[in-house]
Amino acid sequence: MVVRPHRFQHPENSIMEKRRLGRSELMVSQICLGTMTFGEQNSEQEAHAQMDLAAERGVNFLDMAELYPIPPKPETQGRTELYVGSWIKARGNRADTIIASKVVGRTDNDWFRGGRSSRLVRADIVDAIDKSLARLQTDYIDLYQIHWPDREIPFGSNPMRVTALSEPVADETPIAETLAVFAELVKAGKIRHFGLSNESSWGTMRYVLEAERGVGPRPIALQNSYSLVNRTYEVNLAETCQREGIGLLAYSPLAQGYLSGKYDNGALPEGSRKALFDRLQRYEKPGAAEAFAAYNAMAREFGLTPARFAHAFVNARPFIAANIIGATTMAQLEEALSSIDVGWTAEMQEAVDGLHQRIGNPCF
């Protein structure tokens, strides 16, 4: 194996870049700390330690959801926001921290709304925001996102193949009706900005259209999956969001750990998410294993760990507002944060694009 030279910035000169989120005034760190392990794989003390280290390295942006931690369970739902809230209260840093959270989309899981299913209607959104504010011990959330649509569409909303198109269900909530609720939340001071997640080009543009009609706030962010093995965002959403001033918050940059190399050659580390929960099917589709092996080998050829390489790729993309990292150990967090020290080169991009041309997006 030929190890190619790579370029690092000097750590002492490393600066966590701040980027404007959409057309808003929010300046968010290029690395956003994802928190979905808080309350399941990470204790409150461990969560606080992660947030302390991230803040020390210049991260000012935390992402969570009423759904978290993962896997979703009625007995743990909301713990993540509780842990973030207790950290903010203890550190007294609310003004310096940009908080993003989410309301669930259409779901028949009944523990969010006290024994009934949830839709993106006024009663359910108001219930969600009030509970999140209480858990977070704050009066407002900087970015409040719809976790997934009310429409019955494939999760992630940007599939590579469509085998059938279903008619809208009878109780589908119109986008205009949902957006009007967010207008109320902004007016009440409960949220500053509105965002989307797991949304398609059509859905994103419908929200923009309704906002331009004066129905509610314009989305400033879209949180969708984006990684070496899922670049579907680039097909239509990249142009949509660039022209409409919507920043991409990229989640799952490590493909739920597969791009860290820890599952290479069939390995199953004790305590890993796959070993604990076996919920990684999105990253176990035909062709995925070959893609992971190829990208992880490429990272090592450039003299980098697979995780640092995968994060650096996301960090360097021109349409990324923030890369949402996640970790269960401090060592994993250190590695993710250090990805800003990687000088992403034209040679790296050419190698990645060449491989992508051959294998496509196996993990859409």
Closest to 272 measured CA to CA, from 292, 256, 296:
256
Helix axes 44-56, 330-337, angle to 10 degrees: 20
Q: Which residues form the catalytic set?
A: 68
User: To which residue do tokens 């090592």 refer?
Assistant: 300
Residue pair 1/300 in contact by the 8 Å Cβ criterion: yes
Identify any residues that bridge with 42 across adjacent strands, giving them in sequence order: 38
Distance separating alpha carbons of residues 292 and 298, to the nearest angstrom: 10
Looking at residue 17, its amino acid is: E
Q: Which two tokens stand for residue 291?
A: 């893609």
Q: Which two tokens stand for residue 118?
A: 């949830």
Question: How far from 247 is each of 205, 318, 340, CA to CA, in Å?
Answer: 14, 10, 19
DSSP symbol at 319: T
Give Cα 267 distance to the centre of its chain: 26
Q: Return the half-sphere exposure (C-beta side, CA atoms, 13 A cut-off) of residue 355.
A: 22
CB-based contacts of 347-355 (< 8 A; 24+ apart in sequence): 347/4, 348/6, 348/302, 348/309, 348/312, 348/313, 349/316, 351/298, 351/302, 352/228, 352/295, 352/298, 352/313, 355/291, 355/294, 355/295, 355/298
Residue pair 333/53 in contact by the 8 Å Cβ criterion: yes
